[in-house]
């Protein structure tokens, strides 16, 4: 993607009242952010879910293209890449979620973003020595699994110990920030952040503009990205209420496996974990074997099933591309259009052919799944 295209993407992402889902909706109909910029009121108002308010917001934002250009320059000056929803490097797990940001900032090589195994480890900022010890032991055991990486939020307590343990045991780790990547928050974790940036697999990411400061609403938003990037979430220590439980709830809504380390019933730092287990919102975590069992990581039949599906139905390359995406996660046609970059009219025809071949089916909510 050229610098000019990136500038239009940054412009679109920064429009007041428009979030990730609306950006994707616009792109699915107009094909690019530059086309959105050049669209008229008549063209915009015809797009589903784009009403008068958003149309006016888009048209009134056309004077802010220079702000996007300065943002791109600032990102480059701080060795930060900008990945949009359509970039190949954009995290595949994150892309599957409807509330995913349209654009993220990435610092460091961060190869773990699309690695084969990602586990999020979260917990209380006021974690005890026991919590730190358990976190380190979990990471140590996870490091035996090929392709393993750790996701967390670089916060005090469990988060920072998870990152440090990952670095110690030579596995990738991604810190998801609630502020812009021009600075590290909290500053006390700058040294660990630098070590993560120096590691090929590790890095920092954020959906916030470069100079954004952390504030209350940004932390729950950050937690959804942690949950989305992971195959499963482990909560080590948590009070009755807190950010770790928000991450667990979001992970459950994404149909991800959640694990909780149990603790003493008299310990306030175990109340959150115990309640997750009690109310069946998390599996009891006793060892890494629990994760292997629930995620079925010991079996590798997925690719074989996929190949036999393609061969059996003699799919064309475009049909294979569509089927591959639906195989990974059921999606609506607009989301398939964004990921495949196939125009909607052509995509509708291809999906119809796949339905007639018995490969895909349309379910409630206009979601396409494999048959």
Average pLDDT over every residue of 280-300: 84
Domain 302-370: give its CATH code.
Answer: 1.10.10.10
The answer to whether the Cα torsion of 32, 49, 340, 151 is positive or negative is positive
328 φ, ψ to 5°? -75, -35
Domain boundaries in the chain?
A: 3-77, 107-295, 302-370
Burial 1-18 (b: 16+ CB within 10 A, else e): eeeeebbbbbbbbebeeb
Within this chain, domains 107-295 and 302-370 share the same CATH topology: no
d(CA 81, CA 87): 11
**CA pair distance 233, 225, nearest whole angstrom:** 12
Residue 153 has pLDDT above 70, yes or no: yes
For the stretch 165-217, pLDDT in tens is 999 999 999 999 999 999 999 999 999 999 999 999 999 999 999 999 999 99
At 300, the pLDDT band (50, 70, 90 cuts) reads: very low
Region of 314 on the Ramachandran plot (φ > 0 left; ψ -120 to 50 alpha; else beta) = left
> Which range, of 98-107, 133-142, 198-207, 321-330, averages the lowest pLDDT?
321-330
Q: Is the pLDDT of residue 304 over 50?
A: no
CA distance 358 to 371: 6
DSSP secondary structure letter of residue 180: -
pLDDT given for residue 312 in this prediction: 45
The domain made up of 3-77 is a member of CATH 1.10.150.20: yes
| Eight-class DSSP state of 316 | -
pTM here? 0.82
- Tell me the pairing of strands 117-122 and 148-152: parallel
What percent of the chain shows pLDDT beyond 70? Answer: 95
3-state helix, strand, coil in the chain (%, to 5): 50, 15, 35
Q: Which among 74, 89, 338 has a CA at the least distance from the CA of 208?
A: 74
The CATH class, in words, for 107-295 is: alpha beta
């Amino acid at each position: 993607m050229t610098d000019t295209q990136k500038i239009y993407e940054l412009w679109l992402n920064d429009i007041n009242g428009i979030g990730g889902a609306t950006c994707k909706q616009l792109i699915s109909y107009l094909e690019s952010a530059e086309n959105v910029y050049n669209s008229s009121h008549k063209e915009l108002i015809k797009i589903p879910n784009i009403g008068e308010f958003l149309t006016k917001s888009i048209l009134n934002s056309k004077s802010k293209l220079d702000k996007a250009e300065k943002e791109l320059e600032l990102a480059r000056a701080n060795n930060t890449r900008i990945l949009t929803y359509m970039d190949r490097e954009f995290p595949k797990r994150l892309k599957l979620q409807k509330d995913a940001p349209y654009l993220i900032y990435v610092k460091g090589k961060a190869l773990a973003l699309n690695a084969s195994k990602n586990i999020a480890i979260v917990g209380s900022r006021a974690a005890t020595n026991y919590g730190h010890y358990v976190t380190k032991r979990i990471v140590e055991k996870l490091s035996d699994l090929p392709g393993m990486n750790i996701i967390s939020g670089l916060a005090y307590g469990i988060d920072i110990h998870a990152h440090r343990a990952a670095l110690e045991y030579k596995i990738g780790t991604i810190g998801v920030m609630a502020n812009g990547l021009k600075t590290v928050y909290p500053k006390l974790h700058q040294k660990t952040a630098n070590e993560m940036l120096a590691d090929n697999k590790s890095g920092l990411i954020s959906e916030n503009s470069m100079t954004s400061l952390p504030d209350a609403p940004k932390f729950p938003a950050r937690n959804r990205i942690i949950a989305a990037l992971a195959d499963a979430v482990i909560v080590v220590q948590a009070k009755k209420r807190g950010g770790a439980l928000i991450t667990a709830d979001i992970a459950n809504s994404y149909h991800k496996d959640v694990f909780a380390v149990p603790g003493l019933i008299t310990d306030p730092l175990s109340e959150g974990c115990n309640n997750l287990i009690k109310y069946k919102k998390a599996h009891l975590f006793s060892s890494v074997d629990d994760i292997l069992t629930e995620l079925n990581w010991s079996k590798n039949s997925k690719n074989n099933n996929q190949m036999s599906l393609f061969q059996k139905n003699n799919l064309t390359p475009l049909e294979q591309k569509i089927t591959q995406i639906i195989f990974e996660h059921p999606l609506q046609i607009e989301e398939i259009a964004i990921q495949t970059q196939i125009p909607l009219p052509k995509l509708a025809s291809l999906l119809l052919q796949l339905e007639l071949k018995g490969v895909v089916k349309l379910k409630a909510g206009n979601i396409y799944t494999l048959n």
